[in-house]
């Protein structure tokens, strides 16, 4: 299972990097979204994907999945959401101000260095 998820993580990372290297701002943000999915899965997988009940205390159950990576990932999801939202609005504002979403056109000139 872990190996399979690792391969998924690799593919997600690859796509994310390819998207981040493109010119369009929106595609870059999609790439960061993919990258955060990969990171969340990575953290969870590295904790070990043991079978067991969800980490909610129930009488008679002894095997639980690891709660700590889940807590970490939960925090990471929220933070990445905040950053993505901010970044999206930034991109939206950039469209409005610069009327382009091509980051190669968002280059300073010699005069405004």
Partner 1 sequence: MSVLHLAILLPLLAAPFIPFLFRALKRIHTGWFVLVVPVLLFVYFFRFIGITSAGDVVSETVEWMPSLGINFTAYVDGLGLLFALLITGIGALVVLYSIYYLNKDKESLGHFYVYLLLFMGAMLGVVLSDNMVVMYMFWELTSISSFLLIGYWYEKERSRYGARKSMLITVFGGLSMLGGIVILESIVGSFSIRDMVANQALIAESPFFVAAMILILLGAFTKSAQFPFHIWLPDAMEAPTPVSAYLHSATMVKAGLYLVARMSPVFQESSLWLWIIVSVGTFTLFWGAFNAVKQTDLKGILAFSTVSQLGLIMSLLGLGAAALHYDGIDDNIFMVATIAAIFHLINHATFKGSLFMMVGIVDHETGTRDIRKLGGLMTVMPITFTIAVIGSLSMAGLPPFNGFLSKEMFLKATTKVFSMDFFALDTIGILIPVVAFIASVFTFIYSLIIFTRTFMGKAKFDELPKQPHEAPIGMLIPPAILAILVVVLGFVPNVLSNSLIKPAVESIYPTLVASGQEVKVDIYFWHGPTPELFMTLGIIALGTLMFFMINKWMGIYNHIPNRLTLNGMYDGSLVWSNKAAYRFKDNYMTGFIRSYLIYIFLFLSGMLLFSMYWFDLFNFSFGEMEAVAPYEYVLGAVIILAALAILFMGSRLPSIILLGVIGYSVALFFVFFGAPDLALTQLVIETVSVALFLLVFYHMPEISRKEVRVKFKVENAIVSVIVGVTVMLLSFMALSNRSVSSISEYYKENVYDLAAGKNMVNVVLVDFRGFDTLFEIVVLAVAAIGIYTMIKFRTTERTKGAHEHESEK
> Nearest distance from residue 56's CB to partner 1, in Å?
5
CA angle (15, 36, 100) in 5-degree steps: 65
> Nearest distance from residue 60's CB to partner 1, in Å?
13
Other C-beta atoms closer than 10 Å to the C-beta of 88 total 14
Plot region of 26 (φ>0 → left; ψ -120 to 50 → alpha; else → beta) = alpha
Q: Does 60 engage in binding with partner 1 (CB under 8 A)?
A: no
> Nearest distance from residue 113's CB to partner 1, in Å?
10
Please, which of residues 18-47 interact with partner 1 by CB under 8 A?
Answer: 18-24, 26-27, 29-30, 33-34, 37-38, 40-42, 44-47
Q: Does 71 engage in binding with partner 1 (CB under 8 A)?
A: yes
> Of the two residues 2 and 60, which places its CB atom closer to partner 1 in the complex?
2
């Amino acid at each position: 299972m872990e190996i399979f998820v690792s391969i998924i993580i690799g593919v997600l990372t690859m796509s994310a990097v390819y998207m981040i290297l493109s010119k369009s701002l929106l595609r870059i943000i999609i790439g960061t979204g993919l990258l955060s999915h990969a990171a969340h899965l990575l953290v969870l997988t590295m904790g070990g994907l043991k079978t067991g009940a969800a980490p909610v205390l129930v009488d008679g159950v002894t095997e639980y999945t690891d709660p700590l990576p889940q807590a970490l990932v939960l925090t990471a999801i929220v933070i990445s959401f905040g950053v993505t939202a901010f970044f999206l609005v930034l991109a939206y504002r950039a469209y409005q101000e610069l009327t382009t979403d091509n980051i190669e056109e968002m280059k300073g000139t010699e005069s405004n260095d």
